[in-house]
Structure 1
Amino acid sequence: MRVAVSGVIVLAVAALPACASKENTAPKPAPSAEAPVTETSAAPVASVAPAAPDKPKDDGPRLYVKSRFAWVHPQPGSEGWIGYLWSGASVKLKQAEPVVGPGCSKWVAIEPRGYVCADGERATLDPKDPAYQVLAKYAPRLDTAWPHDYGESRGLIRYKTIPTPEEQRRREWDLVDHMKEVQAALEGKPRDASLEGVDLTPAPSTPIELGELPGTAREPRNRLLPTSTVAWIAQTHAEGRDWLLSADMMWAPKDRVMVYPKVTFHGVELGKGVQLPLAFFRGEDRDKFERKADGSFVPAGDKFLRLSYVQLTGKSEDKDGETYLETRDGGRWVKKKEAVVPEPSSTTPWGAPVGGADTKDAPAGRRTWIEASVWKGWLVAFEGTKPVYATMISPGRGGTPVRGKTPLETASTPTGSFKITGKFATATMVAPHEYIHSDVPWTQNFSGPHALHGAYWHDNWGNRMSAGCVNVSPIDGKWLFEFTEPELPPGWHGVRWRPSEEPATTFIVHD
C-alpha cells in the first residue's frame, strides 16, 4: 500500500490497505440518505465547473502552491516534515525574505510554523504564476463536505491533455465498440452493463485551458482499473467526447465513469435541542410500535426512515423475547435490535464523569475525545465531559481483531485508545494491484495504516464495510476533521501531530 507520489513514505500510513480495498465499493451506490426525522437538511449541489478562485488575502507576502505535496519542514532542509500544502493553495509568510538551506535556495518561513521550498516547481512567491492560477481555479472545494465530484472507473485511460480521436483509438483498445454502445444508449436503446450509472448528459463546451503544469501537480498514473474510484473538479466537451478533469489535472473520459450519488447522511450535533439517548436506523426503514394497555407491542402502521434518527426517553421494556425502546416520537416504540443506539462510556479517558464537572487531571487543549463501537456501528464525539456529536460509522468488514492475525489480514478495525496523529484534507489511497480510492476526504490517522475518513463510495452507515478503517459520511468527516486536534493551520492541506508541543484528540475504539 502506498500513495503514488514520490517521497510520501510516511503519509502513506494515512492511506493503506486498511482503507482501500476492492470490496469497499458497491457496484450500485445506495440511494442518498433521508434527512433525520427531527430536522431537515439539504446537501449542496456541486457545479459542473468551479467558480473563479477566491483571490488570495491581501495580508502581506504569501507562498503559492503548484504541487500536490509541498512539504512543510520544521527547519530549512530538515529531513522530517510536519505538514504539507496543496496545489492551488496559498499561505501567509512569516518573513518575506527567503533563506538558503540544504536542498533549496529559497526556503521560506510560513504561518504558523515551518519552512517550505519556494523553488518555483512545487511552490512560488509569484501570485501571477500561470500554473498557480490554473491550479487555484481547479483546487479542491474544502469549504464543502465534498471537495470533488466522485464516481467509479469502468476501466479508463488517463490523459495529460485531451487526446485526438486517433490517440484515443491507439490507447483504448475497445474504443470503437464502446462508442457504439454509448451512441445506442444516447438513442434510448437498452444500456450495456458497462454504461450502468454513467452520466451521458452533455458536458459544457466551454474550453478548459490548463497550459504547462509541473509534473508534481499530477499523480504518475495512466489508467484506473475497473471499480477504482475517480475524483474530478470540472468537465468539458472536446474532440467528439465528454471529459472529466480529475483532481490531479488529468483527463478521463466521462463515458467510462459511473457517477456516485452524493452521500448526504450525517449525524447530529448534541446540545439543547437534541440529547442522548437516541437511536439511528440502518439498512432499511423500521417499524414504529405502539404499546397496548395489556403491555403488548403492535406495529403502529408507520416507520422510522432508513438513516434517520429519533430521540429516546431512556425507558425500555422486554416483551415476548424482544426489547423495545420508548422514543420521543409521540410515544412510539422501536425494537432495540433494529436500532443503532450509541451507549458511550460514563467517564472520560481521564476519569471525569461524563455530563458532570471536570477534574484536575483533565488534559491540555480542548480535551476532545471520540468513542466508537465497531460491532454496533456508532460514534460519539466529546469536548471535555460533554457529548457534542453522534453518528453512525462503517468500520472494518471483519469486525474487531482476531488473536494471532493482524487487522489487515482480517479486514478488522483495531481496538484500544489512540491519538489522532495526522490529518489530511484529501488523500489518495492505493491498495495492492493498483486499486485506487482517489482523493479520499477528511482522513485522520489513528493506528498505523488505519484512519478515520470520509467515504463517498457507499451509503451503508451503521454496517461494517471497510478493510479496517473507520468510514464516516463526507458531512460527518468534515465536521470531525474540523473538531479534532491537532488543528489544521489555515492554507495547509495536511498536518502531523507534534506530541511534545500540542494536544491530540483521543480516539477510543471498542467492540
Structure 2
Amino acid sequence: MGRGTHIYAGRSRKVQLGTIRPGTSVALRSATPEGGGDCRSGRWYAVEPLGYVCDDVNVTTDLGVEVFRALASLAPREGEPLPFGYGYSTGAPMYDRLPTADEARKAERRYRPVEKLHRPKHPGGHMELSSTELPPVTGPVPDFLADHRSAPRTPWQPEGLVRKTIREGNLLSFQGVVEGEGGRRFLLATNLTVVPADRIWSFRPTSFHGVELAGEQRAPLGWTRRQPRPRHRRDGDRMVADGPAVPPRTVVYLTGQRAKVGGVEYVEARDGGWLQDEHLSQVAGKLDELPNGVDEGERWIDVGLAAGLLTVYQGREPVYSTLMSPGAGGTTQSAGLTIDQLLSGAFTPLGLYRMSFKYRSAVMTPEDTPEPEKTWIDDVPWVMYFRPPYAIHTAYWHEDFGHPKSGGCVNVSPLDAKYLFESSLPRVPDGWYGASNSLPDQPGTKIHLHR
C-alpha cells in the first residue's frame, strides 16, 4: 500500500526475488502467516509461485481497505506498451483532493500563471514529445475524491492540501483525467494526488518500433536515423537520385551487394535502389563469431553505441532489430570507467553484463526515498537493469532513437522495451511487478555493449 513491497527467497531479507506494486496483489500459498526471520512483526506470508513477504505497514490482506482500493483504481493498464499517461511538469502543486477554485487560486500564487506557460518552438530534453493540448476527460470523479474529500494517504505521504510540488522538468505519470470546479481539468496521479492538467504538458506516444526478423524480414538490413536519406539508381558509372527519400527511423532490407561509385560506398536495397553506406546503421546478418562470454545458441542482446543499434540474437542469428539511444556523452573509449565517471560524462557502460533486475515500471530518481521531492521521472516502463543504475528502458519523452540522448541508460521505444522485457530473463511471475536474477534458473539475459 505504500512503497513497493519486496519478495524474498526465504523468511529473511537477505535475498530479494522481486517486488509487488502498491495497489496490486499477489496470490498467497497459504493464508496463515509463518514466523521467524527478521520481519519486525514476526509474520511472513508465502506468495505464489515462490518467496515470502514481510507483513509490515506496506501490505494488507484486506483488499477492501480504502487506500488499497484507491491505489488499485490507478493501477497500470495491463498489456499496454505505455501503462499510464505521462506529462512534463512546468511546476505544479500535487493536491490531496480536488481543490475549490479559491483554494487553487491561493495555492498557485507561487507558480507562474498558466497563461504565461509557453512551450519552446523547438523543444529538447525531456519535453520533445510534449503537447500543450489538454488531455480529454476520461471519466467521473472517483468515489475517494468525491465532494472534495482528501484522497487516502500512503504511510509515506504528508497531510495537507498540497502534499508536494512537482518541479519544472520532472515527469509525471497519471491514470485518468477528471473535471473540477469551473470545468478545470485535473490529472489523477498514481501516488494518489491530483495535479492541474493545464500545468502538465502531456506526451504523445511514439509509433516507432523495431522489427522481428524472419522470412522476408531478415538481415542484412539498415536503419536511417534522424534524417531522411536519398535513394539512388545506378546509371552506368554513376548514381542518380531516384524517387522519394527514405524517411527517418526506417528499416531498409539489403541484398548484401555493395558498390563504390565516385569514391562513395553504396549498398543495394532489395527493392533495387541504392543508398550511401554511411547513411545507414546496419546489421550484417549471421555472425561469424560470438562475443567472448556468449554461448552458442543462447539468446542475447547486442548494443552498438556508435551505430545506435540494438539487436537481439539467438546464437549467431539476428532475430530482432531496432534503434536505441545511448548516453549523451557519446562513446567512451574505456571499458573500465567507474560509476561516478560514467555518470559525470553521461556515458553508457561498455562490456558484457547480465540483466540483474527487471521492473514493469520504475520511478527514476537520484533521491533515496519512497517519495522523492526534487527530481524524478515517474513510472518509466519496462526497466531492465544490467549494471545499476544503468538499464535498458522505455523513453516516453522522445523518439530520436539512434542518437545519443540519455544520461547513460539505453533508451528504446515503448513497443521495443515491452518486447525486450517479455522475451528476456528473468521472467516476472504473474502478479509480481519486478523480478531479480536470483530466481531459480533465471540467470539474466546477457547484454553486450560495445563501441
Structure 2 length as normaliser, TM-score? 0.86
Seq. identity, %: 31
Q: Name the structure 1 match of 2:268.
A: 326
Q: Name the structure 2 match of 1:495.
A: 435
Q: Name the structure 1 match of 2:362.
A: 427
Q: Following TM superposition, by how much is the alpha carbon of 1:326 offset from its aligned partner in structure 2, in angstroms?
A: 0.4
Bigger Cα displacement from structure 2, 74-83 vs 319-328: 74-83
Task: Give me the whole-angstrom Cα distance separating, in 1, the residues matched to 2:52 and 2:153.
Answer: 21
Provide the secondary structure at the position in 2 that maps to 1:286. Answer: coil
Q: 1:496-511 maps to which residues of 2 (within 5 A)?
A: 496-498=436-438, 501-511=441-451
Task: Give me the whole-angstrom Cα distance separating, in 2, the residues matched to 1:429 and 1:451.
Answer: 11
Runs of 4+ in 1 over 4 A off after TM superposition: 191-196, 216-221, 349-352, 402-405
Q: Following TM superposition, by how much is the alpha carbon of 1:205 offset from its aligned partner in structure 2, in angstroms?
A: 6.5
Change (3 A) 1:194 1:295: closer
CA-to-aligned-CA distance 1:12-58 (integer Å, 9 cap, x gap):
xxxxxxxxxxxxxxxxxxxxxxxxxxxxxxxxxxxxxxxxxxxxxxx
Q: Following TM superposition, by how much is the alpha carbon of 1:67 offset from its aligned partner in structure 2, in angstroms?
A: 3.5
Task: Give me the whole-angstrom Cα distance separating, in 2, the residues matched to 1:209 and 1:393.
Answer: 42
Gaps of 5+ in 1: 1-65, 183-190, 353-360
1:111 paired with 2:48, answer: yes
Q: Indicate the structure whose relative CO is greater, using CA pairs within 8 Å and at least 6 residues apart.
A: 1
Q: 1:25-424 maps to which residues of 2 (within 5 A)?
A: 66-101=1-36, 102-119=39-56, 121-174=57-110, 178-179=113-114, 181=115, 192-193=118-119, 197-200=131-134, 203=137, 206-210=140-144, 213-216=152-155, 222-240=164-182, 241-292=184-235, 294-329=236-271, 331-343=272-284, 345-349=287-291, 362=296, 367-402=298-333, 406-424=341-359
Change (3 A) 1:77 1:280: same
User: Is the Cα–Cα contact under 8 Å of residues 77 and 103 in structure 1 kept in the other structure?
Assistant: no
Provide the secondary structure at the position in 2 that maps to 1:74. Answer: strand
User: Is the Cα–Cα contact under 8 Å of residues 402 and 410 in structure 1 kept in the other structure?
Assistant: no
Change (3 A) 1:379 1:346: farther
Task: Give me the whole-angstrom Cα distance separating, in 1, the residues matched to 2:220 and 2:418.
Answer: 24
User: Is the Cα–Cα contact under 8 Å of residues 290 and 297 in structure 1 kept in the other structure?
Assistant: yes
2:53 partner amino acid: V
User: Is the Cα–Cα contact under 8 Å of residues 293 and 352 in structure 2 kept in the other structure?
Assistant: no
Provide the secondary structure at the position in 1 that maps to 2:332. Answer: coil
Change (3 A) 1:216 1:377: farther
Task: Give me the whole-angstrom Cα distance separating, in 2, the residues matched to 1:349 and 1:114.
Answer: 35
Bigger Cα displacement from structure 2, 389-398 vs 440-449: 440-449
Q: Following TM superposition, by how much is the alpha carbon of 1:171 offset from its aligned partner in structure 2, in angstroms?
A: 2.6
Task: Give me the whole-angstrom Cα distance separating, in 2, the residues matched to 1:340 and 1:125.
Answer: 52
Structure 1 length as normaliser, TM-score? 0.76
Q: CA RMSD in A?
A: 2.7
Q: Name the structure 2 match of 1:42.
A: none
Task: Give me the whole-angstrom Cα distance separating, in 1, the residues matched to 2:137 and 2:47.
Answer: 40
Task: Give me the whole-angstrom Cα distance separating, in 1, the residues matched to 2:300 and 2:262.
Answer: 39
Q: Following TM superposition, by how much is the alpha carbon of 1:104 offset from its aligned partner in structure 2, in angstroms?
A: 2.5
CA-to-aligned-CA distance 1:104-133 (integer Å, 9 cap, x gap):
2442111121111345x4222234333333
User: Is the Cα–Cα contact under 8 Å of residues 427 and 442 in structure 2 kept in the other structure?
Assistant: no
Bigger Cα displacement from structure 2, 273-282 vs 404-413: 404-413
User: Is the Cα–Cα contact under 8 Å of residues 173 and 378 in structure 2 kept in the other structure?
Assistant: yes
Change (3 A) 1:452 1:306: same
